[in-house]
Chains A and B, each alone.
Chain A
Amino acid sequence: MQRRSEILIEALTWVASFIPAILAGAMISFLLFNGASAVSWKFITGFPEKGGLEGGILPAIIGSIYISALCMLMAAPIGIGAGTYLAEYAPENLFTKVVRFFVELLAGIPSIVIGLFGYVFLVHGLGLGFSILSGAIALAFMILPWTVRVSEEAIRAVPRDYRYASLALGASKWKTIRTVVYVAARPAIITGLMLGLGKAIGETAVVMMTAGMGITGYIPVSPLDSARTLPVHLYLIAGEIANTSESLKMAYGTALVLLALFLMVSIPSLMLRNYFTRRLYGDAG
Chain B
Amino acid sequence: MQVKKTLLRRALEYKPILKSEKLNVWYGRVHALKDVDMIIPSKRITAIMGPSGCGKSTLLKAFNRLLEAEGARVEGKVYFHDVDIYSDSVDPYVVRRKIGMVFQKPIPLPMSIYDNVAYGLRIGGVKDRRVLDKIVRENLEKVGLWDEVKDRLRDSAFNLSGGQQQRLCIARALAVEPEVLLLDEPTSSLDPASTKRIEELLKRLSRDYTIVVVTHNVHQAMRLAEHVIFIFEGRVVEQGEAERIFKNPKSILTRAYIKGDFS
Binding site for B on A (CB under 8 A): 159, 161-172, 175, 179-180, 183-184, 279-285
- A166 closest partner in B (C-beta): B109
Give the Cβ gap from A164 to chain B, nearest Cβ, in Å. 6
B105 partner residues in chain A, CB cutoff 8 A: 161
Contact of A167 among B69, B111, B158, B159 (CB under 8 A): B69
Complex: how many Å from CA A172 to CA B124?
Answer: 11
| B69–A180 CB distance below 8 A | no
Contact of A165 among B103, B123, B158, B159 (CB under 8 A): B103
A interface majority secondary structure? helix
B70 partner residues in chain A, CB cutoff 8 A: 164
Given contacts A161-B105, A164-B69, contact A170 B158 (CB under 8 A): no
A170 partner residues in chain B, CB cutoff 8 A: 93-94, 96-97, 120, 123-124, 176
| A168–B101 CB distance below 8 A | yes
Complex: how many Å from CA A135 to CA B51?
Answer: 62
Instruction: Name 10 A/B residue pairs within 8 A (Cβ), A-sorted.
Output: A161-B105, A163-B69, A164-B70, A165-B103, A165-B107, A169-B119, A169-B172, A171-B120, A171-B123, A282-B155
Give the Cβ gap from B57 to chain A, nearest Cβ, in Å. 11
Give the Cβ gap from B141 to chain A, nearest Cβ, in Å. 20
| B110–A282 CB distance below 8 A | no
A183 partner residues in chain B, CB cutoff 8 A: 110-111
- B97 closest partner in A (C-beta): A170
| B110–A162 CB distance below 8 A | yes
- A181 closest partner in B (C-beta): B110
| B173–A169 CB distance below 8 A | yes
B217 at the A interface (CB under 8 A) = no
Given contacts A164-B103, A282-B158, contact A169 B176 (CB under 8 A): yes
B254 at the A interface (CB under 8 A) = no
Contact of A280 among B66, B93, B110, B173 (CB under 8 A): B110
- B122 closest partner in A (C-beta): A179
Interface members, chain B 85-140 (any A CB < 8 Å): 93-94, 96-97, 100-101, 103, 105, 107, 109-111, 119-120, 123-124
Complex: how many Å from CA A179 to CA B156?
Answer: 15
| B119–A166 CB distance below 8 A | yes
Extra pairs beyond A165-B103, A165-B169 (16, CB < 8 Å): A164-B70, A164-B107, A167-B69, A168-B103, A169-B120, A169-B172, A170-B96, A170-B176, A171-B93, A171-B123, A280-B156, A280-B158, A282-B155, A283-B156, A284-B156, A285-B156
Interface size (B, Cβ < 8 Å)? 28
- B172 closest partner in A (C-beta): A169
B100 partner residues in chain A, CB cutoff 8 A: 168-169
| A168–B110 CB distance below 8 A | no
A169 partner residues in chain B, CB cutoff 8 A: 96-97, 100, 119-120, 123, 172-173, 176
B64 at the A interface (CB under 8 A) = yes
Complex: how many Å from CA A12 to CA B69?
Answer: 48
A172 partner residues in chain B, CB cutoff 8 A: 93
Top 10 nearest A-B pairs (CB, nearest first) are A282-B156, A170-B97, A169-B120, A168-B101, A282-B159, A165-B107, A284-B158, A184-B110, A170-B96, A161-B107
B64 partner residues in chain A, CB cutoff 8 A: 168
Complex: how many Å from CA A171 to CA B172?
Answer: 13
A166 partner residues in chain B, CB cutoff 8 A: 109, 119
| A164–B158 CB distance below 8 A | no
Complex: how many Å from CA A168 to CA B61?
Answer: 9
- A276 closest partner in B (C-beta): B110
Contact of A180 among B96, B97, B109, B124 (CB under 8 A): B109
| A162–B107 CB distance below 8 A | yes
Q: Chain B 153-167 against A: per-residue CB contact (8 Å), 1 yes, 0 no?
A: 001101100000000
Complex: how many Å from CA A163 to CA B111?
Answer: 14
Give the Cβ gap from B80 to chain A, nearest Cβ, in Å. 14
Complex: how many Å from CA A180 to CA B69?
Answer: 16
Complex: how many Å from CA A183 to CA B158?
Answer: 14
Complex: how many Å from CA A285 to CA B158?
Answer: 8
Q: Chain B 171-182 against A: per-residue CB contact (8 Å), 1 yes, 0 no?
A: 011001000000
A163 partner residues in chain B, CB cutoff 8 A: 69
Give the Cβ gap from B236 to chain A, nearest Cβ, in Å. 24
Complex: how many Å from CA A164 to CA B169?
Answer: 12
A284 partner residues in chain B, CB cutoff 8 A: 156, 158-159
Complex: how many Å from CA A168 to CA B96?
Answer: 5
B103 partner residues in chain A, CB cutoff 8 A: 161, 164-165, 168
Interface members, chain B 66-85 (any A CB < 8 Å): 66, 69-70
